[in-house]
Structures are given as C-alpha cells and as structure tokens.
Amino acid sequence: MIVVLRPDATKKEIDHIIERIKQLGLSVHISKGKERTILGAIGDESILEEHPIDMLPGIEKVMPILKPYKLVSREFQKEDSIINVDGIKIGGKQIQVIAGPCSVETREILINTAQRIKKAGAKFLRGGAFKPRTSPYAFQGLGEEGLLFLLEAKKKTGLPIVTELLDPRDTEVVYEYADIIQIGARNMQNFRLLTEVGKLDKPVLLKRGLSATIKEFLMSAEYIASQGNRKIILCERGIRTFETAVRNTLDLSAVPVLKEETHLPVFIDPSHAVGRWDMVAPLAKAAIAVGADGLMIEVHSDPENALCDGSQSLKPSKFDKLMKELKKVAIAVGRTM
C-alpha cells in the first residue's frame, strides 16, 4: 500500500503512523518527493484492509500499489531516482558513460585504457575481475588481482569502478573495491545474490537477462530494493530472439517502457547486445535518442589480442570520436554529457 501523508503532517504523527504499520507486521519504506512524502507499506496488504489506518492523523489517503514490483514502481515514487556516486549523478539530465575492457587482463592495458576513456569524457571505468563465460575453458578473470589493478587505475584517473559480482561468497571483497556493483545478465534471477547486494549500501547495476521480460527484470530489481538498497541502475544489454545476424537483439523499446514503469535510471549496453564493434556507435546514439540515462561501452587499447570480447570493443581513438558524436545527440534531445 501507498500511504500519502498530508503536507502539514508533523514528525510525531509520521512516527506514529510508521510505528502502527510496523505493529501490523509490514515493513515501511519512506519516499520524500518534491510535493509529498509517502510511505510504502510492504507485505501482506490484506492486513490493512482488516486494520485500516487511513483515519490516523497526518494521512491524506491510502492506495494499493497495483504493480507486482512495489518499491521500484512509478506508483511508489513519481520522481526519477538520482544516484550519486562520488559526486557524479546518475539519472539526471546529464547522460553518463561507463567504459573500459570487458575483463581486466593486464595492469598496463587497463591503466592505458582508463586514461584514454577519461580524456574522452567517460565518467566510470568498467572491468571484470570475475568473468562468467559460456565456456569453462575461456578466460575467467584475474580475481582479486584484477580488483587491485582497477583500484590503481582509479587512483591514477579518478574514475569510479564498476565491476561484476558473480558469487555471494565474493561479496565482501568486491564491495571493498567497487563503487558500483554489477549483476550480470546470467545472474539477473540469482535471487540469493540479489538479496545479498540488497543489504549493501552501494549502487547496483542490474543487467537484463537474455530471455527476461520487462516484468521479470523489474521483479529482480524489487528483490534488491526489498532488502533496503534502492540505489539500482537498470541496464538493457540485448535479449535472445530468433535473429542471428547479431549476437542479441537490442531492445531499445525497453527504455521508454521502463521509464514509464519505474523511477530507476536506465542504461544501455550496445557492446554486449550486438557483439560487433562497428555497430556500437549507431546503437549508442539511438539509445540516447530514446531516453537512456547512460551507456556502458567496451573499450580496449588492443582489441585484436583481447582475452575477452575483443570483437565488440572499440579502440580508444574510435571511442573518442563516438563521444564527440554522442554529445551532439544529447543536445538534440535536451540532455548533456
């Protein structure tokens, strides 16, 4: 249920409402908007039908949340969520770009790539220390050594780190190094993992699963939010269809649909969507045109010899050119970069 408070509700009245909701066995989530403060009463909503609270002082009205995803829905929060990472705002007017290699391979390649993307205008450095690969024989990442390289690159460039968490057992070490924790497409419905990151006070970038519907995607985000962490960034990275011309089908329609359904910021990963570097630029431009809040783009200083996804990685010179072009698209749709 959504409990809409009166604009003149006192702290004493609000505290009493929260206490009463908790007494009924429901959890309470507070959302302070520009015009109204609302309380989300999450749990068995039938309890509020048996024990109505709409007569309590300070309450304007009580309404059911119709969507199965409660905390991440537009019904619960009308205003867009803004996530602040080291002073960089995600979800506002400015479009943010996360860039870097698919996986951390060597210290030299990572630092060189980080310096080049920083110069081009990227605001975050991505790199996988733990890599989920389709083949068990493919490069699986450097583990904590890769995290140390990412930290060094951050110290040299100032770029916050985005890296993937695969296993709940690695939560502590990834939390120590990462500024944004990525949950990959293959783990979108790993509910144990989602529950673990939901307990953390750190932004989570959640990628859409290969065959997941929008509803399933948002229900996974709800798992994270239900544990208390509402610093969630959604990322569309292509879904599996019958088409074989490219690796996956990039669902650009997901951006306006998600913008209607949720207050969370939405990113697009064109690199993983198509698996071809020559298609990254047009899809990145299209993503901004349809309203994406940011992009995740793979960049590698030596893609021909990359150990992971070199075919979809841009060389730094091409990334620099793309960033200049993206700024023009952003201006055209009333955004900045």
Q: What is the pLDDT of residues 230-285, one digit of tens each?
A: 999 999 999 999 999 999 999 999 999 999 999 999 999 999 999 999 999 999 99
Say how far apart CA 76 and CA 79 lie, in whole Å: 9
Specify which residues 2 forms β-bridges with. Answer: 40, 63
Q: Is 73 left (phi over 0), alpha (psi -120 to 50) or beta?
A: beta
Say how far apart CA 113 and CA 288 lie, in whole Å: 23
Q: What is the DSSP letter of 314?
A: B
In CATH terms, 83-332 corresponds, of 3.60.15.10, 3.40.720.10, 3.20.20.70, 1.10.230.10, to 3.20.20.70
Task: Note the pLDDT of residue 137.
Answer: 46
- Percent of the chain at pLDDT exceeding 70: 97
| 306 pLDDT tier (thresholds 50, 70, 90) | confident
Say how far apart CA 286 and CA 54 lie, in whole Å: 46
Say how far apart CA 224 and CA 220 lie, in whole Å: 7
Does position 6 have pLDDT exceeding 80, yes or no? yes
Specify which residues 164 forms β-bridges with. Answer: 182
Start-to-end CA span in the chain (Å) = 38
Q: What is the DSSP letter of 160?
A: P
Does position 136 have pLDDT exceeding 70, yes or no? no
- Percent of the chain at pLDDT exceeding 90: 73
Enumerate residues 6+ apart whose C-beta is below 8 A from 22.
Answer: 28
For the CA atoms of 146, 152, 158, 164, the dihedral, rounded to the nearest 10 degrees, stands at 10
Does position 141 have pLDDT exceeding 70, yes or no? no
Cβ atoms 33, 40 nearer than 8 A: no
Cβ atoms 314, 127 nearer than 8 A: no
- The domains of the chain are located at 2-63, 83-332
Say how far apart CA 95 and CA 103 lie, in whole Å: 24
Does position 151 have pLDDT exceeding 80, yes or no? yes
pLDDT tens sequence across 94-122: 999 999 998 998 899 999 999 999 999 99
CATH superfamily of 2-63: Phospho-2-dehydro-3-deoxyheptonate aldolase; domain 1 (3.30.70.1140)
Token code pair at residue 211: 């065959």
Domain 2-63 and domain 83-332 have a common topology: no
- Classify strands 2-5 and 37-42 as parallel, antiparallel or unpaired: antiparallel
